[in-house]
């Protein structure tokens, strides 16, 4: 990863008091604890990861950050639903909560802010994993669009939505496929299925499309979660073109 600095220190310990004792003489630019669910304070009962330990360890690290003016980053486990594992008290104590999202088979990651006491949460960071680590993506729309020849028949079922996430504008590709079958048996990835069902109903009623005998599959490219209503037109256009 081309890390040439000699001031990067790694220390293996789960005792918060031991960790803080080792850090204070170094006075680092930042401290990263991985993970908050695996550390403990011997003065409190219970195993690492329970509500008391998570609360007290986080409070100890918060006090350390305020006294030394050293930023502390806490890595937290997440559940299958994407929420921080364990008690919600962790989110209440810290100043900022960031989520790193991304598909396992893709190289890019989205960094979202769920809480920020000192600023906006309406910003989105896009990064790509390279041989030198995570690198910022300057033009993320290139990642959300697949390459196609403009004269190709494969363009049927594709539409592009321009959406606003925070202060950044993204061009997001929406893909739709219609095959014979019973309506409602399809799969929707990247947006809410109820919203797609509503758009399909509007197309059937107002545009006269006979979709009741078709299974609709819809996908938003690159794992982006399409929540803005500006994407409705792209969803409708991709379904119509199939």
Q: List, for residues 187-207, the tens digit of each pLDDT value.
A: 898 899 999 999 999 999 998
Residue 20 has a pLDDT of 94
Nearest to 44 by CA among 59, 63, 57: 57
What average pLDDT does the segment 162-174 reach? Answer: 84
Please give the sequence-ordered ranges of beta strands (E in DSSP) within the chain, or none if there are none. 31-34, 72-75, 96-101, 108-116, 124-130, 133-136, 158-165, 168-180, 188-189, 214-220
Domain boundaries, the chain: 16-139, 158-241
Under a CB-based contact definition with an 8 Å cutoff, are residues 183 and 173 in contact?
no
Residue 87 has a pLDDT of 63
Tell me: pLDDT of 141 over 90.
no
Residue 149 has a pLDDT of 57
Question: pLDDT of 56-66, one tens digit each?
Answer: 999 999 999 99
* pTM attached to this predicted model: 0.71
- CATH number (3.30.230.10, 2.60.40.420, 3.40.50.620, 3.40.50.2300) of 158-241 reads 3.30.230.10
| Assigned superfamily of 16-139 | P-loop containing nucleotide triphosphate hydrolases (3.40.50.300)
Residue 164 has a pLDDT of 83
Distance between CA atoms of residues 238 and 31, nearest Å = 47
Residue found by looking up tokens 């906006």 in the block: 120
Distance between CA atoms of residues 57 and 238, nearest Å = 50
What average pLDDT does the segment 135-155 reach? Answer: 70
Residue 152 has a pLDDT of 60
Phi, psi of 221 (to 5 degrees): -65, 145
């Amino acid at each position: 990863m081309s890390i040439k600095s000699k001031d990067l220190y790694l220390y293996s310990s789960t005792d918060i008091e031991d960790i803080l004792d080792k850090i204070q003489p170094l006075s680092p630019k930042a401290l990263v604890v991985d993970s908050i669910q695996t550390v403990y304070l011997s003065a409190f009962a219970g195993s690492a990861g329970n509500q008391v330990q998570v609360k007290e360890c986080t409070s100890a690290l918060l006090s350390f950050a305020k006294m030394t003016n050293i930023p502390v980053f806490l890595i937290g486990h997440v559940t299958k639903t994407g929420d921080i594992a364990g008690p919600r008290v962790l989110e209440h104590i810290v100043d900022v909560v960031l989520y790193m999202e991304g598909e396992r088979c893709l190289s890019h990651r989205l960094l979202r802010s769920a809480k920020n006491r000192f600023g906006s949460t309406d910003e989105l960071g896009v990064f790509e994993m390279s041989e030198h680590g995570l690198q910022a993506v300057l033009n993320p729309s290139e990642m959300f669009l697949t390459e196609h020849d403009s004269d190709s028949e494969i363009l049927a079922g594709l539409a592009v939505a321009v959406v606003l996430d925070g202060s950044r504008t993204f061009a997001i590709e929406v893909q739709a496929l219609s095959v014979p079958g019973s309506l409602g048996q399809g799969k929707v990835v990247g947006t809410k299925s109820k919203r797609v069902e509503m758009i399909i109903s509007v197309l059937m009623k107002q545009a006269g499309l006979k979709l009741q005998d078709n299974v609709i599959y819809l996908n938003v490219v690159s794992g982006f979660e399409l929540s803005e209503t500006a994407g409705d037109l792209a969803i409708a256009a991709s379904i119509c073109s199939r």
